[in-house]
Copies of this chain bind each other. A is one copy, B any other.
Amino acid sequence: MSLVIVGSIGLDTVSTPSGSVIDAIGGSAVYGALSGSYFTAVNIIGVVGTDYPKAALEILARHKINLDGLEVCEGKTFRWTGQYHDLNKAETLLTELNVFADFAPKLPASCSTCHSLLLANIHPALQMQVLKQSSSYTHLACDTMNFWIKDCPTELKEVISKVDIVFMNEDEVRDFTKCGEIFSAAAALLKLGPKLIVIKRGEYGSVAVSKDELFFAPAYPIVPVKDPTGAGDSFAGAFMACLEGHQELTPALVRDAIRYGTVMAGLAVSEFSIDGIADLKRPMIDAYKERLCQMSR
């Protein structure tokens, strides 16, 4: 029983009002895997170049993340350069795909008996390739971003129709469904097939929408937010990891998963790069979650 996360593995150059980092450890799969590793065994599927820092691999290994699905290709690792003037909105300055340009994700044999799959933010065509290899999984989920919504909505729609859980932020939900009001937008997404839509609202928290239920969680109050990069990936990684061992998406399970996702997202943005989530202890995470519960019940 474990969680498989497919996504980007990269080096981020980021500037925010709190400072900046150059070629820092990043990528949707890395944030998701580190975050999920506090709750279950995690397998990472992705690609890096020969320049990928050994220190980063050591951090993943220290978290007992299975690297069987990590390809190392001749060339440079994927790089993203971005800045945040407004902490709610990333501005991409440069994307260098490098070895990621020819990535064709393959699930290794060691992932054949896994429980859940998180398709972190990558091209919907790649997400679809993975879905075709993962028919035995109990919980399938996808994340995405504005770029794919604009450029390949048809492929994204196909992915959404095949998963159980969709993670999207508020603007993405509105853009994809062309519906300004988020509850109607979520209803439109549910009609495509998923059981649960988790709408991320940045500093305002999140709302989970199923056919029968709404659940709201506030964001964990973090002052200052140093670097918003990876918040959504950390949220989704922890959320999916919390589903391990459960067959049904019960309301109680969804609440717990959202709260842990919220805590990990909060810790992620409290430091640059992965520094907020790389060295935690589970009792500390549980204490944050308890505090989050107290602030909303």
Indicate if the CB atoms of B181 and A223 lie closer than 8 Å: yes
Q: Report Cα–Cα, A196/B159, bound state, in Å.
A: 47
Contact of A216 with B by CB under 8 A: yes
Segment 187-211 of A: residues with Cβ below 8 Å from B: 201, 204-205, 207
A297 at the interface (CB under 8 A from B): yes
Write the nearest CB–CB distance from A226 to chain B, whole angstroms.
12
Contacts of A224 in B (CB 8 A): 181
Please indicate the chain B residues that have their CB under 8 angstroms from the CB of A214 in the complex: 221, 295
Give A211-239 interface residues, CB cut-off 8 Å to B. 213-218, 221, 223-224
Chain B residues whose CB sits within 8 angstroms of the CB of A205 once the complex forms: 204, 216, 218
Q: Does A184 contact B (CB under 8 A)?
A: yes
A296 near B217 (CB under 8 angstroms)? yes
> In the complex, what's the smallest C-beta–C-beta distance from A272 to chain B, in angstroms?
18
The quantity of this chain's copies bound in the complex is 2
Docked-complex contact A297 and B295, CB < 8 angstroms: no
Residues of B within 8 A of A213 (CB): 295
A293 to B216, CA, bound (A): 10
Q: Is A148 located at the chain interface by the 8 A CB criterion?
A: no
CB distance from A99 to the nearest CB of B (A): 39
CA gap between A216 and B259 in the complex, in Å: 14
0 or 1 for each of A99-138: is its CB under 8 Å from B? (1 = yes): 0000000000000000000000000000000000000000
Indicate if the CB atoms of B223 and A295 lie closer than 8 Å.
no
Contact with B along A242-259 (1 / 0, CB 8 A): 000000000000010000
**Could you say which residues of chain B place their CB within 8 Å of the CB of A84?**
none
Residue in B183, B221, B255 whose CB lies within 8 Å of A183? B221
CB <8 Å contact, A216 and B218: yes
Partner of A223, one of B184, B221, B297: B184
| CB neighbours of A293 from chain B (8 A) | 297
Name the 7 nearest CB pairs between A and B, nearest first.
A216-B218, A204-B204, A297-B297, A216-B296, A214-B295, A183-B223, A296-B296
Q: Jot down 23 A-B pairs with beta carbons below 8 A, ordered by A.
A: A181-B223, A181-B224, A183-B221, A183-B223, A184-B223, A201-B204, A204-B204, A204-B205, A205-B218, A207-B218, A213-B295, A214-B221, A214-B295, A215-B295, A215-B296, A216-B218, A216-B296, A217-B296, A218-B218, A255-B297, A293-B297, A296-B297, A297-B297
